[in-house]
Structure 1
Amino acid sequence: MPKTPEEAVEYVKQNKIEWIDLQFTDLPGRLQHVTIPASDFTVEGIKEGFGKLDGSSIKGFTTIYESDMVLSPVLETLTSLPWSPSVARVLTKVYWGGGRGRFERDPRYIAETAESTLSAEGYVSYYGPELEFFLFDRVDLDVKTPQQGTGYKITAREAPWNGGGGYVIRYKEGYYPAPPVDQLMDVRLDIIQTLTKHFGFIIEAAHHEVATAGQGEIDFRFSTMVETADKLQTLKYVIRNVASKYGLVATFMPKPMFGDNGTGMHTHFSLWTKNGKNLMYDPNDEYAELSQTGRYVIGGILAHARSLSAIVSPTVNSYRRLIPGFEAPVYVAWSKGNRSAVIRVPSYYKGMEKAKRIEYRAPDPSTNPYLAFAAIAAAAFDGVKKKIDPGNPVDTNIYHLTPEKRKELGINELPRSLDEALDELESDNEFLKPIFNSSILETYIDLKREESRTLQMYPHPMELYYYLDV
């Protein structure tokens, strides 16, 4: 990938690129873009940035009276698009117009700030998100007349309700079935080949996930905070575009259907020194080869788990997923291998320093990865700085414990709604303030409050089923 403006211009010339797609991420986490002629993508243009953005039209950005903004390319992300070879896309940083400096509500800026903050303390953090998603054949929405009712219909070739073309995947039985029962392997292969050949990814695994109706997962090699967030946005972008080529609809919605597992984004996290020592690892620890620093990392994330929910589980729909019985975390606890806890310590191997990390199971793919990874780092760093003890691990199925036993063990619950999570974030955000400026926190909370209020106004279709005769 190009690293200098001169290399970038040469790349465009050699690959006969005609158009440059400038991409950036809005505050809720959606990828946005504007396309410019390749002739404008000069060394001078790259250095100055491209004044092509009306920030007042982007969610969470700015107002109509200060809307001129500049996009500065992140040249390492420049690559031609295999589905449109005359176009190259590049991720960008967002700046205020008029030479006023970096835009403080650019989500990528928050992740950059988090990375710099940790670096100043001598730390490097690594992330490995496990991105789950659904590939549906069709989704029909009826929202034309919401006053008369709303509804949707999902068509999915593997699903029991669509017959499966001879094979079906039963509810909760989608984990690792071989083709032809897994009818979407070829699509996933196309996705990962596109990622490796054109976007520089190292793929570790791709497979069908637990749910029926086309649930999949793609895992790529862990990396540092900003790079991993960039890759996650790229991964979602590629999944959507390759799926569209096959006439499929890719969705990262946390809970698109009733009765089966939702879509998570379990995030692996480790904290290292800048000279390459894994601070999470202690070969003398008998429980999980986890160091005291690793325990403090867990302590920080557990201490702030309820407020973190507003960032890592950021939609009303996220809380349809966070319910018992569907492999989604509900309880604030940690363990070595217990998937009913919000944090587990993977222990596939023994004696491997590079493999020691934690898996934080609360995030889902609707999160903004730049904000999510920065918030996880802030909570972990707070735990290390304050030496927050996480308590004892819980090595039992927490779903099966009585409320009395959970209380005895000091096991708290995650929020059950977005509003509850936002309440927690408003009361517990001091740990974020070295990284998250007040402007982005206030704007983010306002946006999410409005989202929650809007959805509360719409009766759910199942409410008619349950309450029509009251």
Structure 2
Amino acid sequence: MNRQQEYVLRTIEERDIRFVRLWFTDLMGTLKSVAVAPAELEQAFAEGIGIDGSVIEGFTRVYEADMIVQPDADTFQVLPWRDRTARMFCDINMPDGTPASTDSRNILRRALDRAGQEGFTFYTHPEIEFYLFREPYESARGPVPVDQAGYFDHVARGDGHDFRRAAIEMLEQMGISVEFSHHEGGPGQQEIDLRYADALSMADNIMTFRTVVREVALHEKAFASFMPKPLAQQPGSGMHTHVSLFEGDSNAFYEPGASYELSQTGRRFMAGVLAHSREICAVTNQWVNSYKRLWGGGEAPAHVCWGHNNRSALARVPMYSMGKGHSRRIEVRSIDSACNPYLTYALVLASGLRGIKEAYDLPPEAEDDVWALTDAERRAMGIDPLPQSLGEAVAVMEESELVADVLGEQVFDFYLRNKWQEWGDYRSQVTQFELDRYLLHL
């Protein structure tokens, strides 16, 4: 038993913790948990907890169902919203102790290990958007936002202010640092930005963040949704993520005197993200509804391009960190806040590393509002569109050697089958739009 595990056992005894929840994530990014009594935790550290992996989305096949949940003592935290309850994230192993190829956390760890072999550490900093709606949700009316405020609005006695304060306090009690928070553009829409961390810690933080936000919303008699586009006429919710590579203590993206102070490594990394953005879109934007956000106008990035001050671009070089070597970074704006963060960060990293390794050339910067250009103008500038539907995204991903390599054969095959099924289910629906437009006129 290592020192961190001993610390966990000692803390559980000192704080009279009665339940320890072991958290893990399925391939669609849904949080799962199994509770263990404190008396069983020492054995759980030594041997793990057995589960039936065949009932977890994408974990394994029925004839090889036995899997092991292995708690990671470094992620131990007491839950502020549950009396005498704590949690730890877990790795999923096979019975022989080898990491499960279908574990999202392990897939990201493999990608980070590859980056480490090149001398890089991958850091991320997400800006997470979501909507707050009033309870109860009445399907006939549709979801009702908690307010009618807009971007950066300060609302006297606003529900959003109280909610964000309570959520941030709870996050910080769990060791998750928050940089900024504010009201976003849509009614009831919020944004909370997490302080940068290594990508594995951040993916864990994002899963915790979603849980905290939902718990606080319920306490405030509301409900929170990370659905990419819950309101047709309002902005969608994304998770713009700032990314950077470090070599030891040095930011590999920073070069004084270079254009936008972005190094050749940074330019090639961004070129890789752009070049493979269509292939990874079925993961970064994994739901049918994701494409209503991407193609719904506003600042959602629907085209493969970059800029320094262009919020219609897929990737951006923020200018407010000029002159700060440690802060030089790239912002990837296409990602949904409802994605699986482990798979998403693994694929963004792999795309950027491919760009570095194969010396991709960064295309010319897009200085115009890309949404305002015509299709012909975009084609002339060499700006390709992102997939316009989940079906198109899955078809593009199906041909991707990079995605297959990062996810592994079993996950790649499962993911494709799962998303083809979702696309088929969606296409079979008769929507209210169709009834309103055609039922009485055809």
**Is TM > 0.5 for Structure 1 vs Structure 2?**
yes
1:99-147 CA distance string (max 9 Å, x none)? 25211100000011011111011111111111111111135365xxxxx
- Cα distance in 2 for partners of 1:462, 1:81 equals 43
- Cα distance in 1 for partners of 2:62, 2:280 equals 31
1:378-402 CA distance string (max 9 Å, x none)? 0000000111112110111111112
Distance 1:194 1:3, change over 3 A: farther
The alpha carbon displacement at 1:75 in A equals: 1.0
The alpha carbon displacement at 1:436 in A equals: 2.4
Identity fraction in percent: 35
Structure 1 match to 2:236 = 262
For 1:78, give the aligned amino acid: F
1:11-35 CA distance string (max 9 Å, x none)? 1101100111111000000101111
For 2:256, give the aligned amino acid: P
Distance 1:304 1:101, change over 3 A: same
The structure 1 segments of at least 4 consecutive aligned residues displaced by more than 4 Å after TM superposition are none
Q: 2:208 aligns with which of 234, 242, 251?
A: 234
> How many aligned residue pairs are there?
440
Distance 1:262 1:350, change over 3 A: same
For 2:297, give the aligned amino acid: G
- Cα distance in 1 for partners of 2:136, 2:416 equals 30
Is 1:311 aligned to 2:292, yes or no?
Answer: no
- Cα distance in 2 for partners of 1:282, 1:45 equals 47
Distance 1:37 1:127, change over 3 A: same
1:362-390 CA distance string (max 9 Å, x none)? 10012100000000000000000111112
Q: 1:209 aligns with which of 184, 199, 209?
A: 184
Structure 1 match to 2:14 = 14
For 1:45, give the aligned amino acid: A
Distance 1:304 1:265, change over 3 A: same
Indicate the SS of the match to 1:305.
Answer: coil
Distance 1:276 1:433, change over 3 A: farther
The alpha carbon displacement at 1:181 in A equals: 7.1
- Cα distance in 2 for partners of 1:294, 1:309 equals 21
Q: TM-score, normalised by structure 2?
A: 0.96
- Cα distance in 1 for partners of 2:217, 2:399 equals 41
Structure 1 match to 2:433 = 462
For 2:65, give the aligned amino acid: S
Q: Where does 1:243-282 land on structure 2 (aligned, <5 Å)?
A: 243-273=217-247, 275-282=248-255
Structure 2 match to 1:94 = 92
Aligned 8 A contact 1:137 1:248 in 2: yes
The alpha carbon displacement at 1:419 in A equals: 0.9
Structure 2 match to 1:179 = 155
The alpha carbon displacement at 1:463 in A equals: 1.4
Q: Where does 1:14-413 land on structure 2 (aligned, <5 Å)?
A: 14-42=14-42, 44-51=43-50, 53-97=51-95, 99-138=96-135, 140=137, 153-158=142-147, 168-169=148-149, 174-180=150-156, 182-197=158-173, 199-212=174-187, 214-273=188-247, 275-285=248-258, 287-413=259-385
Q: 1:453 aligns with which of 424, 429, 438?
A: 424
Aligned 8 A contact 1:141 1:153 in 2: yes
Indicate the SS of the match to 2:415.
Answer: helix
Distance 1:427 1:465, change over 3 A: same
The alpha carbon displacement at 1:54 in A equals: 1.4
Q: TM-score, normalised by structure 1?
A: 0.91
- Cα distance in 2 for partners of 1:324, 1:187 equals 27
1:44-88 CA distance string (max 9 Å, x none)? 33121111x211111111222221221111112211211112211
Indicate the SS of the match to 1:92.
Answer: strand
Aligned 8 A contact 2:285 2:291 in 1: yes
The alpha carbon displacement at 1:434 in A equals: 4.7
- Cα distance in 2 for partners of 1:141, 1:452 equals 26
Indicate the SS of the match to 1:126.
Answer: strand
Aligned 8 A contact 2:279 2:403 in 1: no
Gaps of 5+ in 2: none
For 1:401, give the aligned amino acid: L
Indicate the SS of the match to 2:20.
Answer: strand
Distance 1:405 1:139, change over 3 A: farther
Distance 1:181 1:467, change over 3 A: farther
Aligned 8 A contact 1:138 1:156 in 2: no
Kindly report the root-mean-square deviation, in angstroms, between the aligned alpha carbons of the 2 structures: 1.5
Indicate the SS of the match to 1:307.
Answer: coil
The alpha carbon displacement at 1:331 in A equals: 0.9
Gaps of 5+ in 1: 143-150, 159-167
Aligned 8 A contact 1:117 1:435 in 2: no
Aligned 8 A contact 2:316 2:332 in 1: yes
For 2:121, give the aligned amino acid: V
- Cα distance in 2 for partners of 1:19, 1:407 equals 58
